[in-house]
Amino acid sequence: MSVMAASTESETQAFVRAQTRPARHPLVPEITLRLASRITPIWTASEESLATSGVEPPYWAFCWPGGAATARFLLDHPERVTGRRVMDIAAGSGVAAIAAAKAGAAWVSAHEIDAYARAAVAVNARANNVAIDIPAGDPLDAVPPADAVILAGDVCYQRDMAARMIDWLRRAHAAGAEVWLADPGRAYLPEIGIEECARYTVPTSLELEDREMRETVLYRLTG
Ligand SMILES: C[S@@+](CC[C@H](N)C(=O)[O-])C[C@H]1O[C@@H](n2cnc3c(N)ncnc32)[C@H](O)[C@@H]1O
């Protein structure tokens, strides 16, 4: 099945299921996710679409160090989100959003520009028996919220995307939101206006990251 052939919501979710297997990231074994067991087949399966429509690579089929670290932190410190409104920006598989819901957040939304990622979040939320709102569209086009906890895991890997994301997150912080940024040492992590809150050694794969562990830091935006 090619990505281009999958267009309705149910077809998109079927594509996600066909390309993945149920798995658990070692840092967050409490959460089950549909993940690709190897990188190559799914990247090839998406190549046609990537070439013709310029959509994102299938980040949603992997649990990235930033999302895993955020999820671990929330499961260990549920009081950070209990009863609160939580937005997971650039949610990928939705691992951090699912952790927030499990931790007792009052309302959780997962935001993704990639329709396949939104499908993956829906499939993964269902598998973990949690309710997550998954709006379409680019969250960075909206006015940043003033009253939410915002999670952003592993968003500093591309220069333009990171600049736009950090600008939006800073505006959210200025408006009153609490912003958490989890990063495994990507190139475009801002050097100022962040404060380290927790640190994890996150297992990853050689195929994805050219190493087996990534030191990943959970920061709180301070300005
Ligand atoms: C490296 S993945 C991280 C996914 C997840 N947070 C994790 O750590 O596992 C980055 C994700 O950002 C998404 N993304 C890029 N630009 C975005 C935007 N403007 N709004 C929402 N998501 C975006 C991509 O589609 C991709 O799924």
The answer as to whether 7 is a domain residue is no
Examine residue 32 and state whether it is found in any structural domain, yes or no: no
Domain, as residue range, for 128: 64-221
In a domain, 161, yes or no: yes
pLDDT at residue 3 greater than cutoff 70: no
Look at ligand 1, atom 14, and give the residue with the nearest C-alpha: 90
| CA of 165, closest atom in ligand 1 | 19
Query: pLDDT tens, 105-119?
Result: 999 999 999 999 999
Which position has the token pair 């089929």?
A: 61
Read off the pLDDT of residues 57-111 as tens digits, 9 standing for 90 and up. Answer: 789 999 999 999 999 999 999 999 999 999 999 999 999 999 999 999 999 999 9
DSSP label at residue 83: T
Tell me whether residue 189 is in a domain: yes
Evaluate whether residue 127 is within a structural domain.
yes
Tokens of 93: 């598989």
Domains in the chain: how many in total?
1
Per-residue pLDDT at 57: 77
**Does ligand 1 come within 6 angstroms of the Cβ of 92?**
yes
Which two tokens mark 160? 């333009």
Give me the CATH number covering residue 85.
3.40.50.150
Query: Does residue 123 lie within any of the structural domains?
Result: yes
Q: Is the CB of 154 under 6 A from ligand 1?
A: yes
Q: Is 117 in the pocket of ligand 1 (CB under 6 A)?
A: yes
Closest CA to 186 of 168, 205, 204, 209: 209
- Give the sheet arrangement for strand 213-221, strand by strand: 107-111, 85-89, 149-153, 178-183, 213-221, 194-203
Q: Does the residue 131 lie in any domain?
A: yes
pTM for the model = 0.93
User: Is 20 inside any structural domain?
Assistant: no
Residue 31 is encoded by which pair of tokens? 């959460």
CA of 30 to the centre of ligand 1 (A): 22
